[in-house]
């Protein structure tokens, strides 16, 4: 794999793009993605860089981590690489809920700190 040195995008983004394309091509028909070690050797990236690239695919719903067993295509179906259409809506909802909870905690901490309850 040749990665253009002039590509300004971060290495994890470039790695994720390459793996995304390979998944779409059906290169991993068994659903198992290459190991971090295999990818570090192929791309010449540090292990953390590879894990960061895999994290991008996980956040997109394209891959899952099975801990020490490695990374797999989400759902195990190489032909199904597009996340569910409601995924982005669900992520936005989760973020809003986290923000609301963060504001509640801050409010409660403020009351506790001022002596009022």
Distance CA 103, CA 87 (A): 24
> What would the pLDDT profile of 54-71 be if each residue is shown by its tens digit?
999 999 999 999 888 899
The pLDDT of 81-103, averaged and rounded, is: 74
Task: Say whether pLDDT at 18 is over 90.
Answer: yes
Half-sphere exposure of 35 (CA within 13 A, CB side): 6
Global pTM reads 0.60
Greatest C-alpha distance within the chain = 62
Task: Say whether pLDDT at 81 is over 50.
Answer: no
Q: What is the pLDDT of residue 78?
A: 43
Task: Say whether pLDDT at 83 is over 50.
Answer: no
Task: Say whether pLDDT at 89 is over 80.
Answer: no
Closest Cα partner for 61 from 50, 48, 72? 72
Phi/psi of residue 49, nearest 5 degrees: -60, -45
Distance CA 99, CA 103 (A): 6
Q: What is the pLDDT of residue 13?
A: 95
């Amino acid at each position: 794999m040749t990665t253009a040195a002039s590509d300004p995008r971060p290495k994890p983004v470039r790695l994720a793009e390459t793996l995304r394309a390979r998944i779409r091509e059906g290169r991993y028909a068994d659903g198992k993605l290459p190991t971090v070690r295999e990818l570090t050797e192929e791309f010449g990236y540090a292990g953390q860089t590879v894990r960061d690239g895999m994290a991008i695919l996980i956040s997109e719903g394209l891959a899952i981590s099975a801990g020490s067993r490695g990374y797999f295509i989400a759902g195990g179906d190489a032909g199904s690489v597009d996340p569910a259409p409601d995924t982005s809506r669900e992520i936005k909802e989760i973020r809003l809920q986290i923000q609301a909870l963060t504001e509640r905690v801050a409010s409660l901490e403020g009351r506790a700190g001022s002596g009022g309850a």
